[in-house]
Amino acid sequence: MALRIIVLEPDEVLHKRAKEVTKITPNVQKLLTDMADTMYHAEGVGLAAPQVGILKRMIVVDVGDDNGLIELINPEIVSKEGEQFGPEGCLSIPGYRGDVKRAQTVTVKGLDRNGNEVTYTGSDLLARAFQHEIDHLDGVLYTDIAERVYETPREEEERE
């Protein structure tokens, strides 16, 4: 288990576009493992490579559903449906939440850790997590698109 340091806002790496992964190497696979370990340790539901200081198009997501851990290299949203509006947080912006409008259901495609093309369709929290993490790959934070940002009450923060 290797934990990475989570980069915090206002670090400039969080505002840059990540580069496409052109070759899947053991280092890329190790980074996915480290990202998952880091996400679970921080009790998050998603993490993008820029959040650990690496400008590569890679995300990990686990919202606690039947999908379990989803690892995606070069993910992209191929379709969006509906609309949801609700609170989001971010491991790179501790102590805050924001009200964000997102698609209700999204389909994403990318590569798994072995270079196989995979597609996932998710709704509700999974759709929100996919959109949030893919935004990170484009240098967009939820605070850039939130209708309102507010501090998280201390007791709520301790439960996370």
Give the residue numbers of the binding site for Fe cation. 90, 132, 136
Q: Which of 12, 20, 133, 158 is catalytic?
A: 133
What tokens does 151 get?
A: 């501090």
Q: Does residue 133 have an active-site annotation?
A: yes
DSSP letter at 16? S
Q: Cα(76)–Cα(120) distance, rounded to whole angstroms? A: 11
Q: Three-state secondary structure along 42-93?
A: CCCCEEEHHHHCCCECEEEECCCCCCCCEEEEEEEEEEEECCEEEEECCCCC
Cα 94–chain centre separation: 15
Q: Cα(152)–Cα(150) distance, rounded to whole angstroms? A: 6
Which of these, 36, 39, 37, lies nearest to 90 by C-alpha position?
A: 39
> Which amino acid is located at 8 in the chain?
L
Give the residue numbers annotated as catalytic, written as ranges.
133
